[in-house]
């Protein structure tokens, strides 16, 4: 069996930082997650038009800033002029888009673990993103505190070319777990499987766990609705509001 980094996953991971309480994917959201007691955060990374890796989910800045541009059309000075906090709440006005390097420094300073999702939006290069983002993350965080995940098989393959399984934990992101999930994981020597909890079946979940892979489920915000899936052996819940789960996830032996 391949050796992977000795990653100890928590039961709860803050999705895009503590995105129920602070603007998603910002430094403020990561600080809020840390204050709330989270030990791991999930964040999305992609490239600006000038090649700078930034922490951002959408292909445009419309939903989460006071601007409208596509990320691919922005350079760093223009991206920095955007207010990325005011849309969420007045107290976050003045928040600026985080570069990956600023975010990595904060994650490291707070002692957090990071699930970095390589977000390959339509028309963008997977290889360029991986070459910028993955070495940067490996430079700052120890392998025990990093999982790089993606829906893009191409991005995962590029990441695997950069570092072996013992140094870089990869997570394969699925919506529903496909029939060939195991071949896809074995081909890339992935560490973990990440799936949409609303598409999870008991059979799929148990197959992943019995094969020895951690199973991370996104994005669960209702503990009562999620209880069923938790009972199937899910390793970690990725939630916008992890505090809502306090006391709702029974311990496992």
Contact 194, 218 (CB under 8 A): yes
Nearer to Mg ion, 44 or 131 (CB): 44
Structure-token pair, residue 34: 């840390």
Contacts of range 197-204, beta carbons closer than 8 Å, 24 or more positions apart: 197/226, 197/229, 197/234, 197/237, 199/175, 200/176, 200/229, 200/232, 200/234, 201/177, 202/232, 204/176, 204/177
Q: Which residue, judged by CB position, is nearest to Mg ion in the bound state?
A: 117
Check residue 44 for interaction with ligand G3P (CB under 6 A): yes
Shortest spacing between CB 150 and Mg ion, in angstroms: 9
Nearer to Mg ion, 121 or 235 (CB): 121
Check residue 240 for interaction with ligand G3P (CB under 6 A): no
Check residue 149 for interaction with ligand G3P (CB under 6 A): yes
91 burial (CB, 10 Å; 0-12 / 13-18 / 19+) is: exposed
Nearer to ligand G3P, 99 or 239 (CB): 239
Check residue 241 for interaction with ligand G3P (CB under 6 A): no
Shortest spacing between CB 119 and ligand G3P, in angstroms: 6
Check residue 57 for interaction with ligand G3P (CB under 6 A): yes
Contact 160, 188 (CB under 8 A): yes
Shortest spacing between CB 145 and Mg ion, in angstroms: 18
Shortest spacing between CB 115 and Mg ion, in angstroms: 8
DSSP assignment string, 121-138: -TT--HHHHHHHHHHHHH
213 half-sphere exposure, CB direction, 13 A CA radius: 28
Q: How far apart are CA 153 and CA 164, in angstroms?
A: 16
Q: Residue 54: which H helix or E strand, with range?
A: strand 53-55
Shortest spacing between CB 251 and Mg ion, in angstroms: 27
Check residue 44 for interaction with Mg ion (CB under 5 A): yes
Shortest spacing between CB 41 and Mg ion, in angstroms: 11
Please select the residue that binds Mg ion; options are 95, 117, 240, 241, rule is CB under 5 A: 117
Please select the residue that binds ligand G3P; options are 42, 95, 131, 240, rule is CB under 6 A: 42
Check residue 238 for interaction with ligand G3P (CB under 6 A): yes
In degrees, rounded to 5, the angle at the alpha carbon of residue 136 between the alpha carbons of residues 152 and 170 is 40
SS3 call for 8: coil
Nearer to Mg ion, 14 or 28 (CB): 14
Count Cβ atoms below 10 Å from residue 212 Cβ, excluding itself: 8
Positions that interact with Mg ion (CB under 5 A): 44, 117
Residues in contact with ligand G3P by CB under 6 A are: 15, 42, 44, 57, 117, 149, 173, 194, 218-219, 238
């Amino acid at each position: 069996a391949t050796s992977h980094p000795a990653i100890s996953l928590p039961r709860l991971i803050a999705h895009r930082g503590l995105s129920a309480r602070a603007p998603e994917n910002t430094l403020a959201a990561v600080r809020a997650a840390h204050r709330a007691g989270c030990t791991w955060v999930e964040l999305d990374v992609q490239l600006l038009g000038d090649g700078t890796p930034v922490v951002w989910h959408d292909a445009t800045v419309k939903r989460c800033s006071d601007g409208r541009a596509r990320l691919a059309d922005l350079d760093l000075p223009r991206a920095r002029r955007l207010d990325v906090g005011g849309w969420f709440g007045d107290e976050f006005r003045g928040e600026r888009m985080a570069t990956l390097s600023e975010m990595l420094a904060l994650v490291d300073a707070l002692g957090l673990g990071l699930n970095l999702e390589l977000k390959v939006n339509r028309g963008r290069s997977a290889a360029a993103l991986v070459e910028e983002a993955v070495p940067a993350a490996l430079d700052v965080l120890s392998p025990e505190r990093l999982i790089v995940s993606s829906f893009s098989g191409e991005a995962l393959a590029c990441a695997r070319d950069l570092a072996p399984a013992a140094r870089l934990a990869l997570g394969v992101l699925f919506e529903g777990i496909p029939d060939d999930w195991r071949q896809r994981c074995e081909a890339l020597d992935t560490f973990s499987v990440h799936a949409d909890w609303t598409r999870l079946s008991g059979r799929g979940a148990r197959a992943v766990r019995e094969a020895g892979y951690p199973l991370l489920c996104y994005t669960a915000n209702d503990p009562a609705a999620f209880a069923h899936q938790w009972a199937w052996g899910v390793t970690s819940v990725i939630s916008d509001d992890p505090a809502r789960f306090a006391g709702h996830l029974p311990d496992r032996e």
